[in-house]
Structure 1
Amino acid sequence: MAEAAHVGVPQLMEMLSVSLGVYYGDFTAAAASENLTASQAKTLTVLRRGPVAMRALADTMACDASNITGIINRLEKREFVRRETSPSDRRVTHLVITPDGERVADAIRAKMLTTREGLARLSEQDRDRLHALLSRVFTRPA
């Protein structure tokens, strides 16, 4: 019996590119159904992990702080986020997701049918394995 060929890094990178393209399209369409841009929806996703300083959010989102200000202004107007002054440094503004922001973030995830259906086709063990592998691949070394 012939031994199976191993998948190389270039093939994995291509599969990640295709996968992330499908995920991003699904995410963008779901965000649009809630009248949000992909950047606004991504901001809500990041804020679900906890309060974040404006500068740290800009770094996480890989964009200029002035872009973050515009995104936050629009999300704040819809009462999806609020600004809070840091108790330890009054010069720092933390961004916090509101209950309405949580609700719309949940709605976006629920509407990502292509992604949800694809992941649901995996067994529980495969989903656990995929989670562990992605965590290893995309966790930054300390």
Structure 2
Amino acid sequence: MPETPGAGTDRLMELLSVSLGAYYGDFTVAAAAEGLTASQGKTLSVLRRGPSAMRALATTLACDASNMTGIIDRLEKRSLVRREPSPVDRRVKNVLLTADGERAVDAIRAGMRTTLAGLETLDDADRDVLAGLLERVFAVPDAEPVTGGRTP
């Protein structure tokens, strides 16, 4: 059977697996340097996109709602997040990132040295292509247009 040009789905799946493994390993080390678990760091990163209801956070992070409550309790004790009633439904609590939480996310991202070094090997055009492909493959909602910036 003749080979088709380009990477096949199996090769792409393997590259994604290796990439995500390296990214999350780097993320976990950087979060730990800030005194956070990977789950706490991921929660802060998700909240950087905007406030979220507890149930929606649990769904996004693929964890049980009771586990999400424990994560938020610990983050709130460190003043990294705060809870407030939803303006639409007072029974629902929204979780918001505080200024200290923003700084923690910045510190985690700055501490991801392996990931940053890899991204630095790309020029602006390559970054634009990679961003566009990731947005398409993962159907990133409300993705901002790629502008050639260097924000990882």
Greater percentage in helix: 1
1:108-140 CA deviation, whole Å, 9 max, x = no partner?
A: 000000000000100100001000000000017
Q: Distance in 2 between matches of 1:64 and 1:140?
A: 23
Aligned equivalent of 1:135: 135
Q: 1:17 and 1:116 mapped to 2: Cα distance?
A: 18
Query: Is 1:86 matched up with 2:94?
Result: no
Task: Find the residue that maps to 1:14 and give its secondary structure.
Answer: helix
1:32 aligns with 2:32: yes
In structure 2, C-alpha distance between the alignment counterparts of 1:88 and 1:6, rounded to whole Å: 49
Q: CA RMSD in A?
A: 1.5
For residues 92-114 of structure 1, what are the alpha-carbon distances to aligned partners after superposition, in whole Å with 9 as ceiling and x for unaligned? Answer: 10000000000011000000000
Q: Extract unaligned runs of 5+ from structure 1.
A: none
Higher relative contact order (CA 8 A, sep 6+): 1
**How many pairs align?**
139
Give the TM-score of the pair, scaled to structure 2: 0.88
CA distance in 1, matches of 2:114, 2:4: 30
Residue identity over aligned pairs, in percent, reads 67
Residue type of the alignment partner of 1:7: A
Flag the 1:68–1:120 CA change in 2: closer, same or farther, 3 A. Answer: same
Q: Which runs of 5+ in 2 are unaligned?
A: 142-152
User: Structure 1-normalised TM-score?
Assistant: 0.95
State how 1:1-142 maps to structure 2 within 5 Å: 5-139=5-139
